[in-house]
Amino acid sequence: FVSPKLRKKNQSSTVATLPAMAAAAAQRLLASSTKIVGAGRNYISHAKDLGNPVLKEPVLFLKPTSSFLHAGPTAGPIEVPEPLESLHHEVELAVVISRRARDVPEASAMDFVGGYALALDMSSNDLQSASKSAGLPWTLGKVQDTFTPISAVVPKSAIANPYDLELWLKVDGELRQKGLTSDMIFKIPFLISYISSIMTLMEGDVILTGTPPDGVGPVRVGQKINAGITDLIDVEFDVERRKRSFSY
């Protein structure tokens, strides 16, 4: 077990000092992922009035595994497709499922957690607004390649209390988002129970548990994102223009 006070610039070297078996097993989980389930509007806002009604149930959306962008020394950039000039960043705690979960009661839900990660739910606000007003799916605004940057997976044993974490995100060194997971509205056991009552969760499936809404904003081509869970994980991603390339 590694002291939570340990800090490293490169998150992958932090993970490597955790007990080897647990860390390697957690990483393999992500490789078998079959889907990403996002929970929208899942944080209390401390701003005056964002105008969104209080939800009775989580808002669920899907992102494909093709949208993953894995952090690391050889990671590519977040790609902004033409004609967009920016994307919105949303820093989130990701939960990685350890085994098949269907109709899981809340009381047993944490048995199905294999690990956690720091993820960004990159979104195109323009595309998403257009979709919402037309009553269309959120797809184009959320599912594109590189729209789910994600850190290495931290084994469940490394996080005693997932509601005692601080999420943060900077753009070009300027702090944009900072929030506490204690502000999560629908907590992890409820999310696992609710989602697994709608669709079977498989080993490696990822739940994006929402973002602190204050500070969500645009990041432009040419900028750099740093983000993390304080004292646990750090990630860094460049934001670049997507170049289209057809390769056999």
Partner 1 sequence: MLLVVYHLQSRSRPIPSSQVAALPAMAAAAQRLLAASTKIVGVGRNYVAHAKELGNPVPKEPVLFLKPTSSFLHAGVATAAVEVPEPLESLHHEVELAVVISRRARDVPEASAMDFVGGYALALDMTARDLQSVAKSTGLPWTLAKAQDTFTPISAVVPKSAVPNPDDLELWLKVDDELRQKGPTSDMIFKVPFLISYISSIMTLMEGDVILTGTPEGVGPVRIGQKIKAGITGLIEAEFDVQRRSRTFSP
Where along the sequence are the contacts to partner 1 (CB under 8 A)?
34-35, 40, 59-67, 81, 102-105, 108, 111, 131-133, 135-140, 143-145, 197-202, 244-247
- Min dist CB 230 to partner 1, Å, is 31
3-state secondary structure the chain: CCCCCCCCCCHHHHHHCCCHHHHHHHHHHHHCCCCEEEEECCECCCCCCCCCCCCCCCEEEEECHHHEEECCCCCCCEEECCCCCEEEECEEEEEEECCCECCCCHHHHHHHEEEEEEEECCECHHHHHHHHHCCCCCHHHHCCCCCEEECCCEEHHHCCCCCCCEEEEEECCEEEEEEEHHHECCCHHHHHHHHHCCCCECCCCEEECCCCCCCCEEEECCCEEEEEECCCEEEEEEEEECCCCCCC
- Min dist CB 61 to partner 1, Å, is 4
Q: Give the nearer residue to partner 1 in terms of CB position, either 17 or 197.
A: 197
- Min dist CB 131 to partner 1, Å, is 8
- Min dist CB 119 to partner 1, Å, is 17
Q: Give the nearer residue to partner 1 in terms of CB position, either 41 or 224.
A: 41
Q: Give the nearer residue to partner 1 in terms of CB position, either 196 or 223.
A: 196
Q: Give the nearer residue to partner 1 in terms of CB position, either 1 or 246.
A: 246
